[in-house]
Chain A
Amino acid sequence: MARGLCHDGGVTAAPVEEILAEEQIEGEATAELAWVTVVWNDPINLMDYVTYVFMTYFKYPRAKAQQLMLDVHERGKAVVSSGTREEMEVHVAAMHSYGLWATAQRGS
């Protein structure tokens, strides 16, 4: 992921400060999207209900909501959103209010 800084042995044209700043910006952009909301399968929630929640809360089109619901059902879990940690915690709290079993975690 991160580029090495010193393997050019000083041949690099750009000043080191500039490269460092660039690295930092890239790092921040990555960190912002480094968290995900995961919804886990559970045997009680109805499939149509889960699809409906994904459509209304996340405003996903029906096809995407249905695919995520099937992923939850068949693979045991699905990443339903990614973003900052704070955003994911808002989503997790909302999913809990709908009775969905959601967690936040770092994206991989």
Chain B
Amino acid sequence: MGRSGFRQRRGSVELRLAEHERGVLLWVLERYGDLLRSIAQDPVPQPVDPLARLLDLGDPVEPPTDPALARLFPAAYRDDDEAAADFRRFTQTELLDGRLARLRSVLPALAAADGPLALTAGQAHEWLQVLNDVRLMLGTQLGVTDESGGDLGHIGPDDPEFPDARIFEWLGWLLETLVVALAARLPDQG
């Protein structure tokens, strides 16, 4: 059994995982998918304004209330709620579809893998975005803040958040191996 993680191999990127690691990753990816799909009900959809429908303005899209969804779909303007609302109305569906498409690409491949997974450059990039998203989900749910700086040492083995904290840390390590593998291919090393 070789060491786990992503690495460069013959011009492409390869992912190796122990069986229990693959199980954990599949589980947390499913959870990420559940979170993404829950956005349709967050916030609870309001009846469409008949005037807006008449004018074909498209339905307004409210910011998600769930903290992890709010982190994945942030406001594009800080001090301009109207511009932020317009941006969300015209881009959030596309952003969600992109995330779901990447998940639909990586999840079945991982589920079907019975050995090292060889990835194209495009697939490696999808993994990069998906793994980072999953870290954002777990980190937000664990309350990782600027003050804690990502240090979850205070969460002990008896804490209900202990498994998530360990997975979060492991995902950080896994993502780092992917960044290293991908960065090795970049022409500019200066």
Q: A93-B91, A97-B129 are in contact. Are A103 and B183 (CB under 8 A)?
A: no
CB of B145 closer than 8 Å to a CB of A: yes
Nearest chain A CB to B80 CB, angstrom units: 8
Interface residues of B in 88-122 (CB under 8 A from A): 91, 94-95, 98-99
Q: A46-B172, A97-B95, A97-B98 are in contact. Are A52 and B182 (CB under 8 A)?
A: yes
Interchain CB contact under 8 A, B133 and A99: yes
Point out the residue from A55, A63, A98, A102 that lies within 8 Å of B186, measured CB to CB.
Answer: A55
**How many residues on A have C-beta within 8 angstroms of the other chain's C-beta atoms?**
26
Closest A residue by C-beta to B180: A48
Chain A 32-63 interface mask (CB, 8 Å, partner B; 1/0): 00000000011111101100100110000111
Nearest chain A CB to B74 CB, angstrom units: 5
Contacts of B133 in A (CB 8 A): 99
**How many residues on B have C-beta within 8 angstroms of the other chain's C-beta atoms?**
41
Nearest chain A CB to B171 CB, angstrom units: 10
Point out the residue from A52, A92, A93, A99 that lies within 8 Å of B136, measured CB to CB.
Answer: A99
Contacts of B139 in A (CB 8 A): 43-44
Nearest chain B CB to A69 CB, angstrom units: 12
Q: What 4 pairs between A and B have smallest CB-CB spacing?
A: A44-B139, A99-B132, A48-B179, A92-B76
> Can you pick out 19 interface pairs between chain A and chain B where the beta carbons lie within 8 Å of each other?
A42-B71, A43-B139, A43-B144, A43-B148, A43-B149, A44-B140, A62-B189, A63-B190, A89-B91, A93-B91, A96-B72, A97-B99, A97-B129, A99-B72, A99-B129, A99-B133, A102-B74, A104-B76, A105-B79
